[in-house]
Chain A
Amino acid sequence: MLAGATLKSAYYSQLGRTMKIRLNKTMVAVATSALLLVSVPVAGITAAANATAKPTYTIGYQGPLSGGNAQLGLNMEYGVQLAIQQANASGKYKFKLRFQTLDDQGDPSVAPGVAQGAVANTNLVAIVGPSFSGATAASMPYYGPANIAMVSASATRTSLTDSTANPNNNTFFRVVADDSVQGPADAKYLVTTKKIKKLYVVDDGSSYGQGVASQVSTSAIALGATVTTASVPGTTQCQAGTGSTSEYSAAATTVVGSHATGLFYGGYYCDLGLFLGALKTAGYHGLIMSDDGALSNSLISGTTPRSAANNVLISCACATSTNAAFNVAYDNLAGFPATNATYAAEAYDAANVIIKAMSQLTTISRGGIVAKLKSSGFSFKGITKTIKFQHNGNISGSAIYVSKVVNGVIKQLGLE
């Protein structure tokens, strides 16, 4: 109960903080334009001062900053922002960095417009993101030809690094393992470790959810489990699709009727929260596991009743940050702890990877960063892991972690 209250207050303080930051940004913008107006008569002096100043480059972050999945986007936005602030404050680079947010709502239909805008900004040299797989695929036709490196902290769809499926993926990198690693590892965990013989696999109809879910089904069948699959499209309530919440109670009834002892959900926290409430009402008592899309505290605040989220297992290629300095700095900036912010540490690493590549270039350019990231000698020791890219943009070597909701709090259990 205490946990519920703390969570709620954390949620609201976070909202407050977000608003405060927005307000600060507005004030900065107003102040800057006022300064510009004042500086018109002394333009000559300002220009002289600028001659010795460091050149400024923009790094973008593309992900969902509004809509039902905004929490994941905000987690990453603060990670990138922190890396950039620290780089600027350190003074050890021969350039200054500017930060630009690119809100694609995680939506493949919104992403192309956002990407086109980013490409048009000639000062932008690289981006962290996009965060969602669907939006990433939709953005590639713009970033690829423009030679802008996309370093995603969370897009795990396997085919993103397949150049037949996505011909413009030449500038795509990711600092996490893809679904071809996560799905089979989850299936092995359910069937071998948890001894589930009858598994029900549900996806949310999104390209990400279906990708993970089909990997889990295929691997679970190969390991000898009986698998039933169903696709329950995401709801407008979560802004991820066109379905309605009424389908969850009926879907939960069929899950109970199937006598499955394990349920895997491929999708995001918002719809999973709705489904968990329905499963509890329908009287489902088996094991429930989901993917990294569900790894968010909003899963618990969005589940009615909150207790229905207890004991849910969540797998992720990401690890919770154990870096104390990062955790303190992140909490100060974001107003909520890094340990609760999925992919925050990875986004921080992704931004620092770009910064390191830039620091090793004599002339900084979009193409130069891509070439540097692809070069075999390049590696970066981040706070999550040592990052080194394969030629197709995938990270070399990675592990899957599993967490569990215990009394309304997500606790990392360790490696699967």
Chain B
Amino acid sequence: MGGFIHYFSSHFQTLGQEFWPLLVGGLANGFLYGMVAVGYTLVYGVLRLINFAHSEVFMAGGFASFFVMQHLVGTSSPNGISSVLYILIGILVGGLTGSLIAMAIERVAYRPLRKRNSPKLAYLISAIGASYFLFNFAGKEFGRYSVSMAQPYTNHPLFTIFGAGVQMYDIIIFIAGALMLFGLDRLVTLTKLGRSIRAVAQDAETASLMGVNIDRTIALTFMIGGALGGAAGFLYGMNVGVVYTMGFTPALKAFTAAVLGGIGNLRGAVLGGLILGTMESFSVAFLAPSYIDVTAFGILVLVLLVRPTGIMGERLGRSA
């Protein structure tokens, strides 16, 4: 018992020193998870299907921006306004590539099945097939080594909160992630396209009777989710480098985040991402680094047991 108390008190002590750095790092990861998670949730909203090829959208965004950064930045070390410009270019390139790949996935792995009214299992398998094709193709074309991206900014602590240095990298992710997720929320709530997406999510058949072009709406939904996923691929790759298998774990985590927040619910996906990122980060101090994935997927199992609809999950059919 004494050992037990000592274990926890010593861990609380480390937690005291590291609380803020762990929180900041966890939230930054959380924003990335959130950006990928909305891709899952959007597609789930309109199709009631999980797009298991979404991890490759993330990877494609990472690689496209890697090549552009290598060309533009090279070995220079930009800072100030040029950094902002490069990062914007990276986000645009990653986002554009992501949405194109997502569109291609919809065309090849989803639309033909939809036209044929195939069972749900068929979509699942064709998406996994598309995912395997894409990452192996990337491995063949770009090599199988992890390579670091030319850095469009110089990383250094910008300011401190309660003694924790907040890094430039974290700030970039916070700002980029928050702006894009806010933009997406507005897009879905206010625009005509957003209304069609919500209409298709509620009742596809009735929506088509009301004049909503279902094919176009579904394709655009994939593309919007793909844009955020691809941009997240750039932001992630900027910090840890790119490799053909880079999509697998982050996408699985993002899927967990989407389920945690309530699959089909956009704001839920973001909230789920932030909670997951933070919990993971703290599990390192509380338990051990090797428990990080146990924590993440333990949360998933708990959510599915206790509240299968997720934290913000409304009635499944009415979300997105």
Contact = CB atoms under 8 A, between A and B. Distances in A.
Nearest to B17: A257
A246 B29 contact: yes
Interface string A256-282: 111000000000001001100100111
B14 A257 contact: yes
Contacts of A245: 236, 240, 249-250
A250 B26 contact: yes
The binding surface of chain B is classed by DSSP as helix
A305 B148 contact: yes
A66 B144 contact: yes
Interface string B120-133: 00000000000000
A253 B148 contact: no
Interface residues of A, number: 52
Interface string B228-242: 000000001011110
Contacts, number: 148
Nearest to B143: A15
Contacts of A238: 146, 243
Interface string B160-181: 0000010101000000000000
Interface in B273-294: 277, 280-281, 283-285, 288-290, 292-293
Contacts of B246: 237
A298 B243 CA distance: 12
B300 to A, nearest CB: 14
Interface stretch (A24-32, A149-157, A216-224, A225-233): A225-233
A251 B289 contact: yes
Interface in B88-125: none
A239 B253 contact: no
Contact of B249 (A232, A244, A273, A305): A244
A1 B77 CA distance: 10
Given A253-B284, A257-B18, A244 B253 contact: yes
A305 B155 contact: yes
Given A2-B75, A250-B281, A301-B148, 10 more contacts: A5-B74, A236-B248, A237-B246, A245-B236, A248-B240, A250-B280, A250-B285, A254-B18, A280-B155, A302-B145
Interface of A: 1-2, 4-5, 8, 11, 15, 66-68, 70-71, 205, 230-233, 235-239, 242-251, 253-254, 256-258, 270, 273-274, 277, 280-283, 298, 301-306
6 contacts: A230-B289, A237-B240, A244-B250, A247-B293, A253-B285, A270-B145
